Amino acid sequence: MKIFITGDFCPINRADISNSSSKEILDEDFKKLINEADYCITNLECPLTTYNTPISKTGPALKANPENIRFLKKNGFNLVTLANNHIMDFGSKGLKDTIDHLKSNKIDYLGAGKTDNNISTIFKTQNDITVAIINVCENEWSTEERDGYSAYGFSEISMFYAIKKAKQKADKIIIIHHGGHEMYNLPSPRLKATFRFFVDCGANAVINHHTHCISGDEVYRGVPIFYSLGNFIFDYLNHRNSIWNYGMAVTLNFTKEKITFEKHYFEQFNHDPKVRLINEGDLPHNIQELNSLIANDKKLEKCFEIFVKKQERLFNSFIEPVKSKYILALINRGIIPSVWHHRKKKLLSNLIHCESHQEVLKRILKRL
């Protein structure tokens, strides 16, 4: 079985085929990779809905015109992963609309749905090989239950049991995880340890996205780990000619005995609204250098400390409390409102619950 996997698909701005004059987004070489695969997967980074009321959250609320499902259908994508931090941006209505559109177009999905149904694993069989695909994300806004619906967050404990259960039916297991630090093209030491733990539990391939840039990869105990595929199709007006505009797709080749893989690099929605394959040497960063940093725990730790330092001023602005005891007394008596207003409290909640935000916050507080 040959499975083709890409990162974040968010068909907005020039990528919105419902109002774009350019319908042919993928170059012919990219289409060939899809056609050669038995099963094609992408991460649907936003709901497909016309519903206009977003949830209360920090950060942007994303959605796309449902007509964009025609792109997935036309280009041979069989499955979308929904466990990500934007799929619930328009609440349960946005998610239900998305699921309805996927079902009517006979496109499989997993990673979000009815909370008590936990559709985080799907099984695919071909040529006597059964592959389990497990999809989870870090715990941000989308993993909060809304009217009985949510994306499926992860914990190390839940993943241990999910992998153990999947191994009862499957020959091979793919973990597709959504998380990490945006615009940072290395895993944190925590994320590296987490993905290696998935392998220790029995995963046969681990793939991550969310960071909006390509990260490095490694083979651990014979198992490939891809720390971030970057964006697949995500046109963002503030990003041109940056790491945002370069992605990676992966082809996994399964037999009963082993897994092999191929990496495919591409440029997406940079100056032109297209996706075109490029050579590794055309990337804005050196993949082999990233891989060497991932392989060295001390160097990886040092790089992450530099990243945290760059985030420190931003995070301090998030958490800085009022210092005056007189103002605190007035707040406690209800005479003046808390300096941590409703939006601030939501932001703090996200910093605490999201694994990647939490690890940066812990390191900053440890320095105090």
pLDDT for residue 120: 87
Residues 288, 302 contacting (CB under 8 angstroms): no
- Per residue in 324-355, pLDDT tens? 667 667 766 777 676 666 677 788 888 888 99
- How does residue 7 score in pLDDT terms, banded at 50, 70 and 90? very high
pTM: 0.91
User: Which class for 119: exposed (0-12), middle (13-18), buried (19 or more C-beta within 10 A)?
Assistant: middle
The predicted pLDDT at position 346 comes to 81
63: tokens are 């959605």
Look at residue 19 and tell me whether its pLDDT is greater than 80.
Answer: no
Q: Kindly state the average pLDDT of the residues 12-26.
A: 82
Side-chain half-sphere CA neighbours of 120 within 13 A: 27
Output 364 or 283, whichever has higher pLDDT.
283
Quick one: pLDDT at residue 331? 66
CA distances from 157 to 115, 138, 224 (A): 18, 14, 22
What does the pLDDT read at residue 18? 85
Residue extent(s) of CATH 3.60.21.10 domains in the chain: 2-295
Whole-number mean pLDDT of the chain?
Answer: 92
pLDDT per position as a tens digit, 286-316: 999 999 999 999 999 999 999 999 998 888 7
Q: Integer distance in angstroms from the first to the last C-alpha of the chain?
A: 52
**CATH architecture for residues 2-295:** 4-Layer Sandwich (3.60)
Provide the pairing of β-strand 129-137 with 172-178: parallel
pLDDT digits (tens, 9 = 90+) for 65-103: 999 999 999 999 999 999 999 999 999 999 999 999 999
